[in-house]
Structure formats: C-alpha cells, structure tokens
Amino acid sequence: MADFMQAANQAYYAKADPLGVDGDFITAPEISQMFGELIGLWLTDLWIRAGRPNNCHYVELGPGRGTLAADALRAMQQFGFAPPVCFVETSELLKAKQSRAVPGARFVAGVDELPFDVPLLVIANEFFDVLPVRQLVSTHAGWRERVVVRDRGAKFMATPGMHAMDEMVPTEFRNAPSPTIYETCPAASTIMYELAGRVASQGGAMLIADYGYTMPGIGSTLQAVKGHQYADPFENPGEQDLTAHVNFVELANLARMRHLRVSGPVEQGGWLTALGIGARAEALIAGQPERAAEIAAARERLVDSAGMGSLFKMLGVTNMDWPEPEGFEIDQHLG
C-alpha cells in the first residue's frame, strides 16, 4: 500500500500543479493571503520573544506554489525578520513555481539535508497527509498487511498479504472483528522524529496544519481527490491526489519523546480567530472596499465549521527554551 501511494503521488506531483480552482484541490494559503500572513506573524512573535536570534531559518515542507511562504515572509519582513528560506520539495515543476514566489529560496530533497547549526522554524501545511500509509487488516487468519495487486482486468486493488502481522497491531485493537483496518504512516513518523530532534538540539519551532484525527483510532482514511471530487484511490494512479488523515496523536507523542513543548492540536478556525483573522480581514477590506465580499467569504471558509475551520487542525511544537506559542489558549483543545 505504501509503495503504491508513494509511487502514485510522486508521479502526480511531478506532472502537474494540482492546486487551485482549475486543479484538483484548493488549500488554505490559496484561499486567502490572510492564512500565510497570520502564520508569518505567529513566527515573528515567537522570534521576538525568543530574543531575536539572528540565525533562524524559515523551513517549509511541501510548499506547493510557495504562496504561504511568500505571504508569511512579507508579513515577517515588516517587523525586520527576514530569515534565509529552505524548502523541502521533490517536484521539479513545483520547485520552479516556488522559486518565482520566493526568489532566493534554497531547496533540499529531505529533512536530513537541513542545516544542522541554526534554529529551525518549520511550517507544514497539507504536507503530512500526502505521505504514504501502511495498512493492516484483520482477517479470519489474523492480521495481514494490505497489499496492492492488479486484478485480471489490470485494475489495482487492495488485498490481504500472506504474512502474519499481529505483532504490529497495538494490543487494544488486536481483537477487532474482521475486516478492521489499522493504519500507520511510517514516513510521517520518521520525518517528525528527525525534525523534532533538530528543533530540540538547534532551537526553534514547528507548526503543522492538516486534516487529521486527535484520538487513536482504527479504519482506513485513504482517499483520492480529482477535480474537487472524491475518487476511487486505486483508479488512475498518478492522475489524482492520494492522501490519508494525519495522526496528530502520533506526531505530538514523537515531539514529546524529543522533550519538546506540544501546543494543541486545536481547530484551525479557533487558532486563526485567536491570532486575529477578524482584524486582518477588516484591515484588508478597509484598503479594498470593492473586495469586501470576497475577503469576508475567504475568512469564513478558513474559519467556519462548514468550511475548513473544524476539519483542519493546528499543532505547535516548540523548543523548551523558546517561549510558548500564541493561538493555542482556546477552549476546544483536542486530544
């Protein structure tokens, strides 16, 4: 399953820019500049209260078109904060777009290539959800890995593999009735553990924004999106976006293992509201009254439960010697 998802997504992101109204899906930074700006202010506030260390790097994982970074860096610059920028990206096509959005950005292919001697301020919006998942399924013969095969018509499909996998399933789920699916994302865990270790030893913070779950659970969350519609994940590999919900419990636990401070996860809507998206929307409207309806609608889509406000979560992770981050002191603390 993980090999299938990895190969399909690599082909997908190499081939075309999937973002935006004309693409397959739209993300928060593409909805409004307010999203990236507030993230930039969140980082600036942390940096100021940390005593303005002069060697911080801005790091973004899977920056898409570079829109979030461009908006964040513009907001940061207004406060005299202009860190070097490092993007973790694998798609050549999107790297070209990111270079245009943020001239001077440096690219690395993996988090292990990030500089070792400076505090890292790491942003990941809708990055962890594209990483390949592994799935185990309970059968009458015990737990098996879900593997992807082709049926006689050459269509891809998932089927239980041959080897016993019971040992890999946490004991609390092991007696689940057949067929129950237990999902993990080893790539997400590896990246989180590495980055959390870097933030612990080098200083800095991480902000993860994604849709995901905040309690341990079972079931498949694998989904495909094509042209703003859900599709069969096993059809047309490389032609549609394959994602899985992010396991925020796991990401937070890995940060705790590295002795970092964990803030959240909280819902995106509450976080953006706490950081002042209302005031930012009003200021933008005052400057461009003719765009009032569009700006108000974008704010609503980012904040309201009917839009992205509840489905998407924010997780903040900070080095213990750094100040506590803003935006997480809200009621609906999850998990």
Contact 332, 267 (CB under 8 A): yes
The number of residues in the chain equals 335
Which residues fall within 8 angstroms of residue 245, CB to CB, at 6 or more apart? 129, 211, 212, 213, 221
DSSP letter for each residue of 64-107:
TTSHHHHHHHHHHHTTT----EEEE---HHHHHHHHHHSTT-EE
Q: Does 130 bind ligand SAH (CB under 6 A)?
A: yes
Q: How far from the centroid of its chain's Cα atoms is residue 91's Cα?
A: 16
Within residues 92-121, the interface with ligand SAH by CB under 6 A covers: 94
Select the span of 24-32, 158-166, 193-201, 229-237 touching ligand SAH (CB under 6 A): 24-32
Select the span of 82-90, 244-252, 272-280, 289-297 touching ligand SAH (CB under 6 A): 82-90
Task: Find tokens 């979560």 and name the residue.
Answer: 313
Q: Which of 36, 40, 62, 203 binds ligand SAH (CB under 6 A)?
A: 62
Question: Which backbone phi and psi does 193 adopt, to 5 degrees?
Answer: -65, -40
When the beta carbons of 208 and 260 are compared against ligand SAH, the nearer one is 208
DSSP letter for each residue of 322-333:
SPPPSS--SS--
Q: Which of 2, 29, 41, 58 binds ligand SAH (CB under 6 A)?
A: 29
Q: Which of 2, 8, 24, 30 binds ligand SAH (CB under 6 A)?
A: 30
44: enclosing H helix or E strand: helix 33-49
Q: Does 13 bind ligand SAH (CB under 6 A)?
A: yes
Select the span of 85-93, 292-300, 303-311, 322-330 touching ligand SAH (CB under 6 A): 85-93
**What are the beta bridge partners of residue 206?**
122, 317
Q: Does 328 bind ligand SAH (CB under 6 A)?
A: no
Which residues fall within 8 angstroms of residue 77, CB to CB, at 6 or more apart? none
When the beta carbons of 71 and 267 are compared against ligand SAH, the nearer one is 71
Helix (H, G, I), strand (E, B) or coil at 4: helix
Question: Which residue has the closest beta carbon to ligand SAH?
Answer: 62
How many chain residues interact with ligand SAH (CB under 6 A)? 19
Q: Does 37 bind ligand SAH (CB under 6 A)?
A: no
Within residues 176-215, the interface with ligand SAH by CB under 6 A covers: none
When the beta carbons of 19 and 86 are compared against ligand SAH, the nearer one is 19
Distance CA 233, CA 74 (A): 38
When the beta carbons of 127 and 143 are compared against ligand SAH, the nearer one is 127
Q: Does 36 bind ligand SAH (CB under 6 A)?
A: no
DSSP letter for each residue of 158-187:
EEE-SS--GGGS-GGGTTPPSS-EEEE-HH
When the beta carbons of 50 and 222 are compared against ligand SAH, the nearer one is 222
When the beta carbons of 27 and 138 are compared against ligand SAH, the nearer one is 27
- Where along the sequence are the contacts to ligand SAH (CB under 6 A)? 9, 13, 19, 27, 29-30, 62-64, 68, 88-91, 94, 125-127, 130
